[in-house]
Structure 1
């Protein structure tokens, strides 16, 4: 009918299907789906491993579980939404567009909060090992994790307040479009609270951890020759601390490499979906969720044993939860 024809015409005028150059098309159609699948699979393995095996229910692993859940949601929800938003017009409605914005803020913020808590956990464990059992308990960590998810659930509303106001006023600029635009005040607050402050804290804590671990390693190496000759086997380097010291540099470097480009670009461009550069920085930031399980867990022997038990279907055994993992 004429009305339907006019509606189709209005939709076509309002929304022009995104034109993808070959570089962006490669990211959208090939690289991004691959990253999404790997992010979901790797983090799902972490979630199953820590949740299923009782021996892994430690304070540190509870934090890793929370991080894996947030990263899992990045691969399951955020990356597919990015693929849809960049390959076709947005026909899911303004409410779903606002909800998409909300998840885009909420889930990565929770990941950053989990990384901060993990850095605090490692700082206390390595710098104050005698106080760790009393200061860091499973109950306290569960409270931290719950408050982290709850706080960012409310905090993320701050970023979609303008969009909600437009919805209430029915001020929709263009049918079929869903783009992110932040004012400079919001971008500045976001830069301080979700990047500069967490990164400063993480770098400070991990620097202290690295210095302490290196000092312990040097002290042990200087004593091992004399003491081991008289008491073989009594001098054993704390492998967990030395391993943490070796991986800290890689951890901080990858985290900064993934998030620095996005936040630096947000300082000069308030429309975070307007250019191919912004999209590339989105992909790089999301890629951190795929790297996190590799950094935190794939280097651990317990994780490899847990994955082997999952792949070989040993987790279906009645006594699997009590299997020796560590």
Structure 2
């Protein structure tokens, strides 16, 4: 239990937990404090940051507790193992909500302006949390392996991998990811076509009448690209671990060091998301920088308010 691999696991997970909690707490702080960031899209970003922050504050510490074989009862063990499953599922639904929000904004702009408000985004986020937590807690309601003769708490000893792979991975992870992929293919095809049309007009006519539209299209392309990176990072971080879980079910073989690497990679995803948000948003990047350096919110400058979505 306390060999080199276990100690390395504890050190890596502790580092990821602290980085994840602090980074996402900063994102939440900046979004809450800055009125300019109170947009529909940023409601979903805040929800994603909250779920990622809880991965660092609750999910990873629970994983570390189970590395010591604790707690030594079925429902306590199920609860600590289900925590990170719930937060992950909430993140998936949050990513899907962002994709759908961008789709409606581009496909139905008038309906978007009229009906898609921050209040609607808050309600959708609340529903995401309710459904995501319910799905993540399903093992508590009976779909589990029961307690084990070894009398230790371990994910693969209490969580039925058939639930985790067939429902958690194939249905509630791959399903939303495929929908998101289709949405972003559509969004980029529409925006590329609009960009080419604007470029043609600007070559053959006066550019002033098209400059505003061109600016909007470029902003939408940038926003779509940013969330495409977020989704891509999620796929890279989580799919390898889920494939290893599927291999365990189908072939019964398990590479323990590989599992550790897969778990670290999946947890690291929650730590890198704040950097992706900041990289794709100049105002948030400046706000985060000032918050880190001075623990204060920056003054509003017109040059820093280019894009908040």
Q: Into which bin does the TM-score normalised by the smaller protein fall?
A: 0.7 to 0.9
Check if 1:77 corresponds to 2:58. Answer: yes
Once residues 50 and 295 of structure 1 are traced to their aligned partners in structure 2, the CA distance between those partners, rounded to angstroms, is 15
SS at match of 1:131: helix
2:223·2:280 contact (CA, 8 Å) conserved in 1? no
Match of 1:19 in 2: 3
Q: Is the 8 A contact 1:124 1:132 kept in 2?
A: yes
Task: Report if aligned partners of 2:238, 2:265 keep a CA contact under 8 Å in 1.
Answer: yes
Which residue pairs with 1:179 in the alignment?
155
What secondary structure sits across from 1:111 in the alignment? helix
- CA 1:272–1:178: 2 relative to 1, 3 Å: farther
Aligned to 2:204: 226
Deviations 1:257-311 (A, max 9, x none): 1121122122121499982322222221222212222223432022023224424
- What residue number does 2:84 align with? 104
Structure number with greater CO (CA < 8 Å, separation at least 6) is 1
2: CA distance, partners of 1:157 / 1:29: 25
Q: Which residue of 2 aligns with 1:146?
A: 126
> Structure 1 regions of 5+ residues with no counterpart?
1-16
Describe the SS at the equivalent of 1:175.
coil
- 1:216-295 counterparts in 2 under 5 A? 216-228=194-206, 236-238=214-216, 239-247=218-226, 249-270=228-249, 275-295=256-276
Larger of the two Rg values belongs to structure: 1
**Alpha-carbon deviation of 1:153?**
2.5
2:241–2:266 contact (8 Å) kept in structure 1:
yes
1:142, 1:272 → 2: CA distance?
Answer: 43
Q: Which residue of 1 aligns with 2:186?
A: 208
Query: Would the alpha carbon gap of residues 219 and 229 (structure 1) be closer, same or farther in structure 2, given more than 3 Å must change?
Result: closer
Shift in alpha-carbon separation, 1:172–1:207, aligned structure 2, 3 A: same
Q: Is the 8 A contact 1:110 1:152 kept in 2?
A: yes
Relative to structure 1, is the Cα distance of residues 313 and 185 closer, same or farther in structure 2, using a 3 angstrom cutoff? Answer: closer
- Residues 89 and 176, structure 1, Cα contact 8 Å, conserved in 2: yes
Deviation string, structure 1 residues 191-244 (Cα, Å, up to 9, x no partner): 232222111111011111111121122122222233346769667433312313
Partners of 2:221 and 2:162 in 1: CA distance: 43
Count matched residues.
298
* Equivalent residue, structure 1, for 2:112: 132
Using structure 1 for the length normalisation, give the TM-score.
0.79
In 1, the alpha carbon distance for the partners of 2:117 and 2:10 equals 44
Cα deviation, residue 85, structure 1? 3.3
Larger displacement relative to structure 2 (276-285 or 229-238):
229-238
Q: Contact 1:217 / 1:237 at 8 angstroms: preserved in 2? A: no
Provide the secondary structure at the position in 1 that maps to 2:66.
Answer: helix
TM superposition shift of 1:146 = 0.9
Q: Residues 273, 134 of structure 1: CA spacing in aligned structure 2 closer, same or farther, 3 A cutoff?
A: farther
Structure 2 length as normaliser, TM-score? 0.83
Alpha-carbon distance in structure 2 between the residues aligned to 1:107 and 1:54: 27
More divergent stretch after superposition (231-240 vs 60-69): 231-240
Instruction: Using the TM superposition, give the Cα deviation of residue 125 of structure 1 relative to its aligned residue in structure 2, in angstroms.
Output: 2.0
Q: Which is worse superposed, 214-223 or 142-151? A: 214-223
Once the two structures are superposed, residues 40-61 of structure 1 have per-residue CA deviations (whole angstroms, 9 ceiling, x without a partner) of: 1211111001111222221111
1:303 aligns with 2:284: yes
Give the stretch that moved more between structures: 99-108 or 245-254. 245-254
How far apart are the structure 2 equivalents of 1:179 and 1:274? 15
Work out whether 1:52 is the aligned partner of 2:33. yes
Could you tell me how far apart the structure 1 residues matched to 2:234 and 2:141 are? 28
Distance 1:59 1:230 in 2: 29
